Chain A
């Protein structure tokens, strides 16, 4: 092959590659833009920040709507100007125009206008911050504790709500509608962040500190949330839900949570499951009222086995709709949809029905009991626990037999 022929072939190949790359780049731009636009049309978006469901989130929404509009208009002006300039004055081999430096009048104007816009935004932002920080008219408090990778809620004694003994639960925060609820947040291990977008903004849960966050819901419903501070391996699976119930329904929920423990009837599969629970699960999980065969209370010892010193209290487990840090539903998909899609006047009744045997999501619950670290990433491999003094972060593999799993499922369903 002659030298000139080789050069021609090389330049033709390079030109072809450039054309392909240019087409690929254009396709990527169009695809990315379309994805961004159409993502805004999603109907199933439970963590949509643009749909406030309570006064606190409305304060944020009232602030972000005009700011977003102003920022959008400015962004559009800048983008159109840049694109117009890029196309109109692109390099066509023309001589470089005369270079000038500095136009004081223009520069001062372009400094004052953004400063004024930001000053106006700041005035309304400060107002919103002070409104959101108000706590002196609190009507109810709930202590919220984050740990890898689930949220614990404890309700101190508050007689006006019928809470005559502390209630402890996890995954789902239950609250009465139209009530100013103050969350007192902290953490047992690393920094987490609590966020139910429909009800308020975010607040970090920091070990050793108590931070407050106000929640209030206008109507009964279930609102999804997500830990928003990276907190380790299963951060993405650290979810939560806030369940707002009418005051009557909330009173029923409180009464159920305070109901005494009922042991399964003798000679049933559930009773055998209780024995498995006492032998295995009670090392970390507390069920209030559960007693050993000799009558002594079964006290869990998560402080001896878990890095954070706590594991979810499973009393009245089936009154919740989720488990494993709200990563999995306790309800089957059909039953869950019935609760989530219920109108606000009946959602309370559907939620209070709890998890029946027919509605139980057996698949995920059994998978969890069979090998929890396989379905939710956790630091639970005994060979790698030297850094945490042999303590788990998450639930370990328990090597339960299928027979034990059957018994346990039968028992857990009784924890209404």
Chain B
């Protein structure tokens, strides 16, 4: 008679054919959907044929009963958890939803292989070995990656919570502990495996517990305040107002090969050095509609920022009466305050050519007379 596998795959194939017919009837263009369903039909038919031909690939001895349940299974329970996450994700967030899908797929795969392996033969040890041979190469790397990910994420929570000095001390202590444990394992090769495992598990649990505590306590104050200031958006091009925006500028740059010009502020003068042109320039050419990298080097004794004036744009503003009104805005971008002797890069793109009415220039914040013209041909 027809095997269970055959009936299943035959059903899939028939349903796919129905889906294809409905798709042809309902949609004008099938494109990818048509290809996918056709592929499903082909694969379903192939598997149905294989299932019928091999009687579901059974290897059991026909004279031996295998109806006895060999082991308890936790996978139905985990599958149920996956379904719950899936349902919760539908009304909460996509992360929970996709988490549910991952849990469900993993549990179903494990369940399926377990069910198959328990009935592969009458030899229980053979069945267990068959399951391990199939799943261990997947389980071990995945579990190791997940475990490491949890430890690393927990450690990052700790480092974001404690202040900078404590963070450095913690890092040194953690590194030293890893070194000590590694040395111990190396010089005591006969150490019990359970001792090594216990040390690793305790270390990991400690980090995870610290991470949970860190997550509950939240990030340290200056990170929260800097994020609220828009520290990473480089939005402040005028006088210094924020507490953190200008305080973390790097002093040096690795950017060297893709620079359109190096702008130097020295002796009260702003000049541009362009590769291939020997003399300092007061005007540089910037390609239209293309990212341009400028390096600002502060060769003075004070702190200064370089501002790029990128023309004007019109945007709708709300008036006091609540009506929208078109208003011209100056488009700018800038570096942070650059310390004496330090440098910083700035990237921008200009879409329109320059003209008398539409001039672009670089200038030192606070003294717009120190400027370099940017010509966009």
Whether A299 lies near B353 (C-beta < 8 A) is yes
CB under 8 Å from chain B, chain A span 153-187: 154, 156-158, 165-168, 182, 184, 186
Q: Which residues of B contact A141 (CB under 8 A)?
A: 274-277
Given A210-B257, A310-B289: A286 touches B353 (CB 8 Å cut-off): yes
How many angstroms from the CA of A186 to the CA of B277 in the assembled complex?
Answer: 18
Interface residues of B in 332-352 (CB under 8 A from A): 349, 351-352
Within 8 A of B (CB), among A114-167: 135, 138, 140-141, 143, 145, 152, 154, 156-158, 165-167
| Inter-subunit contact B277/A166 (CB<8 Å) | no
CB within 8 Å for A299 and B275 given contacts A210-B259, A309-B288 = no
Query: For B274, what are the chain A residues with a Cβ–Cβ distance below 8 Å?
Result: 141, 156
* Chain B 318-338 residues near chain A, CB threshold 8 A: none
Within 8 A of A (CB), among B254-286: 257-260, 274-277, 281, 283-285
Output the least CB separation between B349 and chain A (Å).
Answer: 8
* Contact (A158, B377) CB under 8 Å given A297-B355, A303-B289, A303-B352: no
- Cα distance, A207 to B290, chains bound together (Å): 8
Given pairs A166-B377, A297-B357, 8 additional interface contacts (CB within 8 A):
A141-B275, A154-B377, A157-B375, A184-B275, A184-B276, A188-B290, A301-B351, A309-B288
Q: How many A-B residue pairs have CB under 8 A?
A: 82
Task: Give Cα A135–Cα B257 distance, bound, in whole angstroms.
Answer: 13
| A interface residue numbers (CB < 8 A to B) | 135, 138, 140-141, 143, 145, 152, 154, 156-158, 165-168, 182, 184, 186, 188, 207-212, 286, 288, 297, 299-303, 308-310, 313
Interfacial chain B residues near A145, Cβ < 8 Å = 287, 290
Asked if B66 lies at the interface with its beta carbon under 8 angstroms from chain A, I say: no
| Closest Cβ–Cβ distance, residue A126 to chain B (whole Å) | 20
Tell me if B109 counts as interface (CB < 8 A to partner A). Answer: no
- Whether B351 and A309, one on each chain, are in contact in the complex, defined by CB atoms closer than 8 angstroms, is yes
Looking at the complex, which one of B285, B288, B352 makes contact with A156 (CB distance below 8 Å)?
A: B285
Main secondary structure of the interface of B (DSSP, over half): loop
Give chain A nearest CB distance to B69 CB in angstroms.
54
Give the interface centre of B277, B283, B284 by most chain A CB atoms within 10 Å. B277
- Cα-based distance from A299 to B354 in the complex (angstroms): 9
Determine the chain B residues whose CB is within 8 A of the CB of A209 once the complex forms: 257-258
Indicate whether B291 reaches chain A with its CB closer than 8 angstroms.
yes
B4 CB → nearest A CB, Å: 45
Q: State which of A166, A182, A301 has its C-beta within 8 Å of the C-beta of B285.
A: A166
With both chains docked as a complex, state the minimum distance between the C-beta of A289 and any C-beta of chain B, in angstroms: 10
Structural contact, B290 and A309, CB atoms closer than 8 A: yes
Q: Which residues of A contact B352 (CB under 8 A)?
A: 299, 301, 303
B358 at the interface (CB under 8 A from A): yes
Contacts of A301 in B (CB 8 A): 351-352
Residues of chain B from 65 to 98 with CB closer than 8 A to chain A in the complex: none
